Amino acid sequence: MKQKVLLVTMSVGLLLTNACSMFDDDGVFRNKGKDYLLSEEEPYIEVPEGLDSDAIGELYRIPKIPETSLLEDIDGTPRPQILSTNVLEEEVKVQSLPGGRWILINRLPGEVWPRVRSILNRNAVPTALANATTGVIETVWLEFQDDTEKNHRYRFTIEQGVQPKSTEISILHMVMTRAAEIPEWPDSSDDEEREKTMLNVVASELAGDASSGTVSMLAQEIGGESKVDILTPKEKSPYILLRLDYDRSWASVGYSVNKENFSIVDQDRSAGIFYIHDQVGDEEVDKPGFIRRMLGAAVKEERVLEVDYEVRVLSGDDGVEVRIFDAQQGELTRLDSLRLLKKIRANLS
């Protein structure tokens, strides 16, 4: 009996000890919601010389915030960036310009990387190189039935897209005769038709691929820095910075300013200007009055569109800058300029 009493006493003592640590001085449960504020940043693990340090790194990197001073001018929480119109539904399409063609899919590179590798495996296309950090996949030398005297191989480049949370996949084709020495990768495909065929095959497979839930941790750094940023420096008006060549930038901006409520009235490629009409309010202007509706006069009168904004695409030191101005008054307020730039940014392609 004495032994049982001793065990009960010890159990009660342990229970009271644990319970005391759960309550604060006022006898209520302590809120641990802000304990993270007391945490301290630990130094990186130092790997001795001669050992491989590639396995040690940041799993969840915090991206750099573009230069911005706009937060100083806003009271309260700023509105989030406008989402692209196709962000909720997966969309795969092939885009092309005179300088090349690529697949655009509105998924992150970390999601697209394992899907492309799976497509190659399913189609029995072996890979000689797969670098998830740079987003490059190279196939082995392949032999086609219609060209048995030559060998072919492909390079797939997966990188961040221009649209938010999107990925671009470009393909490079190389051909060589069997007796020749292995050449360096060309700047453009040796056979555009074979490149186009492979591009269409991959795009078709992606569109019908159901394995979209897989994400590669190794591929989350694909693409490096963002291709597009909205910058709001103190000394200048807000603008979009495109880290693309000018031809691609001009085409991408032209595509964007012809969507949503925008329409292009005119454009001057040599000056780098799009003249834009904002369609907001046009429905009320074009809506027929009571008498016209009674008489059945439903024919619209043709109306010349007014130029509301000028979107200027200019080459800068760090890339291509996109700025917007009021067609009559010139400079816009910083908040109006940012609002319109976000609309353009959301539909860049």
In the block, tokens 């919601």 appear at: 33
In a domain, 133, yes or no: yes
In a domain, 260, yes or no: yes
Q: What is the per-residue pLDDT for 306?
A: 86
The three-class DSSP label of residue 29 is strand
> Half-sphere exposure (CA, 13 Å, Cβ side) for 82?
15
Both 180 and 269 in a single domain? no
pLDDT grade, residue 73 (50/70/90)?
Answer: low
Q: What is the per-residue pLDDT for 15?
A: 47
In a domain, 13, yes or no: no
Mean pLDDT score across all residues of the chain: 79
Both 253 and 216 in a single domain? no
Both 112 and 175 in a single domain? yes
Both 307 and 239 in a single domain? yes
The three-class DSSP label of residue 115 is helix
The three-class DSSP label of residue 251 is helix
In a domain, 340, yes or no: yes
Q: State how many domains the chain has.
A: 2
Is residue 291 scored above 60 in pLDDT? no
Q: pLDDT tens across 319-349, in order?
A: 999 999 998 888 888 888 988 998 998 888 7
Q: What is the per-residue pLDDT for 48?
A: 84
Domain that holds residue 235: 228-346
Q: pLDDT tens across 166-213, in order?
A: 899 999 999 998 877 888 999 999 999 999 999 999 999 998 875 556
Extract long-range pairs of 156-160: CB within 8 Å, 24+ residues apart. Answer: 156/116, 156/202, 158/109, 158/112, 158/113, 158/116, 158/219, 158/222, 158/223, 159/109, 159/135, 159/222, 159/223, 159/224, 160/109, 160/222, 160/223, 160/224, 160/226, 160/227
Closest CA to 135 of 103, 113, 120: 113
- Where does a domain end: 192, 221, 250? 221
Q: What is the per-residue pLDDT for 283?
A: 58
